[in-house]
Chain A
Amino acid sequence: MILWLLFLLPLVSAALIHFVLKQKLSNLASLIGTVSTLATLVIAIMWTNGSFSTPDSWSWISVGSFNASIGLADDQLAKGMMIVVCGIGFLVHVFSLAYMDKDGAKARYFGNLSLFMFSMTGIVLAENFVMMFIFWELVGLSSYLLIGHWYKKDTAADAAKKAFLSNRIGDFGFLIGILMTWMLAGSIVFSDMDGTAFIGSGSWMAGAAVLFVFCGAIGKSAQLPLHVWLPDAMEGPTPVSALIHAATMVAAGVYMMARFFGSVGLEARAQVPAIEVIAWIGAITSLVAALMATQQDDIKKILAYSTLSQLGYMVMAVGLLEPDAGMFHLYTHAWFKALLFLGSGAVIYACHHEQNIWKMGGLFKKMPITGFTFVIGTCALTAVPFTSGFFSKEGILHAAHGTPFYWIALGVAALTTFYMFRLIFVAFFGKAKDEHAEHAKEVEFRMFAPLVILAVMAIASPFLGKLIPANDFTPDTAFHWNEVTIASMIVFLIGFAAAFVIYRGRSSDPINIPLFRNKFYIDEFYAGLVKWFQDILAAIVHFLDEFIINGLLVGGLTRCAQGTGNLFRRNCQSGNLQHYALLSGVGILIAIYFTIFS
């Protein structure tokens, strides 16, 4: 029973804030949101310890053999993910208390945050695909609402729309994938899926089903063709970026793939074609995003591209049939990336909403706690030995070892080190390049406390084996000297040295690569594509409307009636009395003829 509380508490909180408290009681609203998240965190931790049994599911739709229910999954995958969601959710709530303190729509912010917590909990706990899809859409909605929190800014409103629409494309494929899975595996419930039937259904069908399901992950986890929304989503408040667009929601795609792969069976997967496609998409995304990140100036954009790159890593691991390695990286990444985002939030807050790293500088001395935790987060992200990122990245590198993906992964690791230390050197060291940075002060307790906790997690998370969201998985947390670790450390040193040489003490960017700075012109390409597609569609519709409907159907019928009428008007309606008499005489004759002879 108490697990339903875990599931429904955020919803109650969201409803309470949206409908009862509103902006008038915004302080109470923010407290309620935070407390409810804390309560769910406590429940999640107790659940992980095995305190509760899973309640029965509630039947929602039952038609013939089809049965969609609202039920809660009960495995380590869900439990660990709940810890990530609730733990980071709670810290982000605490951080938001300070960060959004002066915001004019604080109640709406916390209400939407609660709505997000509810939706994300739903995805994690979903025991079947239909329920997952419902909450999948709900996180899309709450993400839309939170990106567009400052909706009076055009860029924020546009970014929200962009995120929603890009996700719709992926979700359309996801829906098809769910239906195909239901057809092939005979069930939508994860624990009832028939992996043998799924594979036996003809390998191409199974491959297509996997790829369609993967479409959902492409949209939500922002993989390559649909990645464009994630950098723009940084228009939202920074704590939202930390929670939704770094740690939890964007990782939902990886979580879903891991759950799906686990459900149709491990040994079955190897026989399905097109799995390679997933790995390639992940690898290319991680490489392209890392290249883009090297030339960004906005501190949040750098982190956003870094998130894209790391999500590419996780997807690549999934595609390499090692979803556990992907989930492990998801878990560690969630902590240190949330740390980096909240750190950037603290920096932005201290610099009076300045996001350009070239206008910061020297912040390490002025904000020691933020700076120190940020460096820890960076070390974890760049896989410095004995940090969490080192172990999880190691897992992925091992999975990729011996394939072309290994070299891509190593290249990305070097790039990651390079752009993260570029950020550190420019923003935290050197001289202050702007008045705001000059007068920056350390943030208050409610902001640095989450940073400290997250920094601890960024180091310690791999050793808390019970929290890792992967079934039957024990992380390898020992240090081995082997080819992979050595290669990993070499690329770290290369990236670090490059960043040190190029960016230490600089006040402007010495490198300028327009291709990377302009994100490979993908946004421009999409704008052109949409315009081109729209123009062609409009031309076709115009042709149909103008010529087929207007000219032929409507116009043709009226002209036909008009022509017939004109024929009578010109030839019969002469106005001549005798003509009428003749016609009526002829008419009578015809009537008589038909009366008598027929």
Chain B
Amino acid sequence: MPTASLTEYLFFSGLLFAIGLSGVIIRRNIIVIFMCLELMLAAASLTLVAFSRANLVNGLPDYDGQMLVFFIITVAAAEVAVGLAIIVALYRARKTISTDDLTSLKN
């Protein structure tokens, strides 16, 4: 069974990252932005896994990359909890989750 090459993995990961980034920039709903952020993290994790598979040491993958992915997942879980809590608090304070209305940094 033919397996995908490293290039294909990296291309896919880049695509995923680009989708995430454009989502962060374009969308106005803060929850969607948050999800897009997660998407970018996932893209980064995918890159790490792909490199781990491609970089064989004595016929075995380099597990350092995969270890890092686990860390990212764990930390991301915690980060999501904190982020969602902030969003809830924000909503309670401002009654909105649209970034167009969150302009208190202006001037």
Same complex = yes
On A, residues with C-beta under 8 Å from B are 569, 573-578, 580-582, 585
Q: 11 interchain pairs (CB within 8 A)?
A: A573-B106, A575-B104, A576-B99, A576-B106, A578-B24, A578-B25, A578-B99, A581-B24, A581-B25, A582-B25, A585-B21
CA gap between A576 and B104 in the complex, in Å: 9
> Which residue on B lies nearest to A579, using beta carbons?
B25
CA gap between A575 and B102 in the complex, in Å: 8
Q: Does B103 contact A575, Cβ atoms closer than 8 Å?
A: yes
Which chain B positions have C-beta within 8 A of A582?
25
Give min CB distance, A276 to chain B, whole Å: 79
CA gap between A574 and B26 in the complex, in Å: 15
CA gap between A580 and B24 in the complex, in Å: 11
Q: Does B25 contact A575, Cβ atoms closer than 8 Å?
A: no
Q: Does A575 contact B106, Cβ atoms closer than 8 Å?
A: yes
Tell whether B78 is near chain A: CB-to-CB under 8 Å. no
Of the candidates B33, B103, B107, the one whose C-beta lies within 8 Å of that of A576 is B103
Give min CB distance, B20 to chain A, whole Å: 11
Tell whether B57 is near chain A: CB-to-CB under 8 Å. no
> Which residue on B lies nearest to A582, using beta carbons?
B25
Which chain A positions have C-beta within 8 A of B25?
578, 581-582, 585
Write out, one digit per residue, whether chain B residues 21-33 have a CB within 8 A of any chain A CB (1) or not (0): 1001111100001
Write out, one digit per residue, whether chain B residues 14-51 have a CB within 8 A of any chain A CB (1) or not (0): 00000001001111100001000000000000000000
Given contacts A577-B99, A580-B105, A581-B25, 10 further A-B contacts (CB under 8 A): A575-B104, A576-B100, A576-B103, A578-B24, A578-B25, A578-B27, A578-B28, A581-B24, A585-B21, A585-B25
Which chain B positions have C-beta within 8 A of A580?
105
CA gap between A585 and B25 in the complex, in Å: 9
Which chain A positions have C-beta within 8 A of B102?
577
Which chain A positions have C-beta within 8 A of B107?
569, 573, 575
Among A569, A573, A574, A576, residue most surrounded by chain B Cβ atoms (within 10 Å): A576
CA gap between A585 and B26 in the complex, in Å: 13
CA gap between A129 and B86 in the complex, in Å: 90
CA gap between A581 and B105 in the complex, in Å: 13
Write out, one digit per residue, whether chain B residues 77-107 have a CB within 8 A of any chain A CB (1) or not (0): 0000000000000000000000110111111
Give min CB distance, A573 to chain B, whole Å: 7
Nearest first, the 7 A-B pairs at minimum CB distance are A575-B106, A575-B103, A577-B99, A575-B105, A582-B25, A578-B25, A581-B24
> Which residue on B lies nearest to A577, using beta carbons?
B99
Q: Does A578 contact B26, Cβ atoms closer than 8 Å?
A: yes
CA gap between A575 and B101 in the complex, in Å: 10
> Which residue on A lies nearest to B37, using beta carbons?
A581
> Which residue on A lies nearest to B26, using beta carbons?
A578
CA gap between A361 and B21 in the complex, in Å: 114
> Which residue on B lies nearest to A578, using beta carbons?
B25
Which chain A positions have C-beta within 8 A of B100?
576
CA gap between A585 and B40 in the complex, in Å: 13
> Which residue on B lies nearest to A570, using beta carbons?
B107
Which chain B positions have C-beta within 8 A of A578?
24-28, 33, 99
> Which residue on A lies nearest to B28, using beta carbons?
A578
Give min CB distance, B18 to chain A, whole Å: 11
CA gap between A596 and B71 in the complex, in Å: 28
CA gap between A205 and B25 in the complex, in Å: 83
CA gap between A272 and B99 in the complex, in Å: 94
Which chain A positions have C-beta within 8 A of B24?
578, 581
Which chain A positions have C-beta within 8 A of B104?
575
Which chain B positions have C-beta within 8 A of A573?
105-107
CA gap between A574 and B25 in the complex, in Å: 14
Give min CB distance, B107 to chain A, whole Å: 7
Of the candidates A574, A581, A585, the one whose C-beta lies within 8 Å of that of B106 is A574
